[in-house]
Amino acid sequence: MTEPQPGRPLLSRTAWLWILSLGFLFILLFSKYFDRLLRIVTETRGGDFSQVLQRLVTLQLNSDWAHVLIIPLFSFYYIHLHKDQIARTQRQVFWLGLPIMLAGILSFIFWVFPGRNDMFQGLSMVLSLFGLVLFLLGPRMMTWLWFPICYLVFSVKISDMLWDRISWKLQLIAAQSSAIVLNLLGLVLNMEASVRGSTIDMWSDGRLIATPLNVAEACSGLRMLMAFIALGVAIAFIAERPWWQRVVMVLASVPIAVAVNVGRVTVLGVLYAKVDPKWASGDVHILIGMLMLIPAAGLCWLLGWILDHIMIAEEPASRTRKVLDPANPPHPAAPAPGGRVGIRSMGLGVAMGLGLGLCAGLSYMLTWGLYKPDVLFGSWLSSRGAVALLFFSLLALAGMIFSSTRLTKPESRPQAGTPVRAMALAVGLMLASLVGLSTMVNAAQVVLIKQPLELRAKLSHLPLEVGTWKMARDAGALPEDVVKTLGTESYISRQYMDTSWPAGKEGSVVTLHVAYYTGTPDTVPHVPDRCFVANGIRPVGTRDTVLQLAGPQFHLEADGLVVADSQLARKLGIPVPHIPVQQVPATVFTFGDPRQPQAVSNVIYFFAANGRYLNSPNAVRKQGLDPRDRYSYHCKIEVQVDLVADPALAAERVSEFLSQMLPEIMTCLPDWVLVNRNEGLPYAGPPSSGP
């Protein structure tokens, strides 16, 4: 293809048709990731994709991940800024991009199932795009295009476990640093601050403010860290700079994000102490967070200006990227002698791509089958036969890649014209991958988007008295910002007292907290190990335990363990619930109050998830949600026992309490046995609305 002449388009209609076809197939191949990511961004629980689009249009977005929508737009903007240089850069078919693209596609299929990891799905998608562009345009063109492609990494959702750990560390940094700044300002504003975990106690005019300022997860700075690193990288690469300046600006974006977040928490602290505590939450809180983008961007631009002036930058002309000389354009490639040759070339390329995808898919399935022979092979193929078949499939794959290089070799010359065979090969490969992915998902009966299950009864319907336990206090509705951090509006917090024990005796009072989640893309419930420490509690230790449920209220039937009687079931006229097991795995978190070093208490928690009892969030992620389940829910059940230092005694008291209360809680939750019995349809119990 020659240098574009005035009035002549850069790309022909045929080339644009190929580009649109490749783009459509690429989006279709990775649509499962896009669907899940958009559900996370819009916080859509179940439902069809129209609900996602509706929330996108009305900007009902998850503030933690809304920035991912801007990342692709900046990548296109970067390409637009450098369109002239890109047009003058030589392009060629480069066969090494083909195995990179293939590796990205196979990696994506693995992380869809059985890997089930959103972060690695996104990274695999970026790797596939990088390989595709490298294959079709060559390494010289990638000197301009590698950045907008790699920049898409910022639109990849970080895994829940990693996000949780980083966010927790940043919460502590934000609280401790803000307390220091608030004390410095207090010399002028007559206020003081002290920090406990991620909670800041504040004094104004010598008076302690009753409710402390809590640096919740939303204020941890992780959201700002991700957005500001992306901003710093964008500012570093949007203009021509030496590589060392770009490295400095990217690295500096981390402390800039942390510093700006400390400034945000400090401003909220001043408003909290000197103006009105309500100003530290709600819309004002969100507005201040958005306004902090201004100083962050200003600091990034200031750093760039300083770097530009402390050393003379290299002239852009000294860069070694090879471009076409407008004065001496190469001879145009000879056109195809006839339409039949073009059609034959396209057909041959598509066929080669389909064959390449077939060989790669067969090799992938055989490799996975060796790891899980009972899933794929059964009794019809021995391990030795599988190894032999895998060997021959790998040979066939290598042969197909070699044949692909020979097929596209005439198009590998710089400026050889539109690489029809290479594009057709990429189309065939993506078609084969799309069919293979759909076949794998259907064969394994994997449900990638879980549907929500409504509660059979509201948690507030739980009885006020069960056995010897009587409710002493109901915490009522939590503040709006706390509910947002909790991630659900279906929760209850109550205190129960054992009337058979002397008042004030250790273990006579327990605090019950239940929170229900369903249809959520993520599984990151908050647990005491983190929440209690954030409120300034001193952690002592964590251990596993087993709660033993006992009593005549549990009865074994043909379809499993059921509750013989339930107050709530009788009251609402619904079937008694099934219980997974009477030995409940749980976690004991032992903690102390820093103000009372000798006082130690325990809180015990576990999860009910899709008909199972599990003792940790990680267990819910790994074991609780079967990929074949159409529906999903998980419920955190947490019982705190005050002033009982012995974890074994605490587990005994919780077992006694839950032997009476857990059947009532399970009456509220979806009955998984009934869900499965009705062929995946949730039990149509009475509506959960009402008083």
Q: Residue 514 forms beta bridges with which residues?
A: 492, 637
Is the Cβ–Cβ distance between 118 and 144 less than 8 Å? no
The predicted model gives 356-378 an average pLDDT of: 71
Q: Is the pLDDT of residue 9 over 80?
A: no
Task: With CA atoms as reference, report the closest residue to 581 among 607, 559, 604, 560.
Answer: 560
As a whole number of angstroms, the distance between CA 148 and CA 125 comes to 14
Helix (H) or strand (E) holding 87: helix 83-88
Q: Which of 159-173, 278-292, 436-450, 536-550 has the highest mean pLDDT?
A: 536-550
The residues, any chain, with a CB within 8 Å of residue 506's CB and separated by 6 or more, are 643, 644
288 and 268 Cβ atoms separated by less than 8 Å: yes
Q: Which residues contact 388 (CB under 8 A, 6 or more apart)?
A: none
Given this model, what pLDDT does residue 372 score?
62
Q: What is the pTM of this model?
A: 0.78
**Lowest-confidence segment of 30-44, 121-135, 262-276, 372-386 by average pLDDT:** 372-386
* pLDDT tens digits, one per residue of 568-610: 888 888 888 888 989 999 999 998 877 776 778 899 999 999 8
Q: How far apart are CA 379 and CA 366, in angstroms?
A: 15
What's the pLDDT band for 391 if we cut at 50, 70, 90?
confident
Q: Which of 557, 585, 587 is nearest to 671 (CA)?
A: 557
Return the SS3 of 339: helix
Question: From the CB of residue 5, how many other CB atoms can be counted at a distance below 10 Å?
Answer: 8
Q: Has residue 4 got a pLDDT over 50?
A: no
Sequence-distant (6+) residues with CB within 8 A of 1 are 91, 332, 333, 415, 416, 417, 418
Percentage with pLDDT > 70 across the chain: 80
599-655 pLDDT, tens digit per residue, is 788 999 999 998 899 998 888 877 666 777 888 899 999 999 987 888 899 999 999
Mean pLDDT for the chain overall: 79
Nearest in space to 454 (alpha carbons), one of 401, 519, 405: 519
Report DSSP state, residue 315. P
Domains of the chain, residue spans = 13-157+342-444, 161-318, 459-677
Which tens digit of pLDDT belongs to each residue from 228-238? 778 778 888 88
Task: Give me the pLDDT at residue 289, please.
Answer: 65
Distances in whole angstroms, Cα of residue 474 to Cα of each of 460, 496, 513, 661: 10, 9, 10, 15
Mean of the pLDDT values across residues 393-417? 77
pLDDT of residue 338: 37
Q: Confidence band (pLDDT; 50, 70, 90) for 101? A: very high
Question: Which residues fall within 8 angstroms of residue 591, CB to CB, at 6 or more apart?
Answer: 528, 532, 533, 537, 538, 539, 540, 600, 601, 602, 603
Residue 632: phi and psi, rounded to 5, are -150, 145
Q: What is the pLDDT of residue 380?
A: 55
Per the model's pLDDT, the better-predicted residue between 559 and 410 turns out to be: 410
CA 287 centroid distance within chain: 25
Task: Kindly tell me if the per-residue pLDDT of 471 is higher than 90.
Answer: yes
46 vs 52: CA distance, rounded Å: 9
Closest CA to 566 of 582, 555, 580: 555
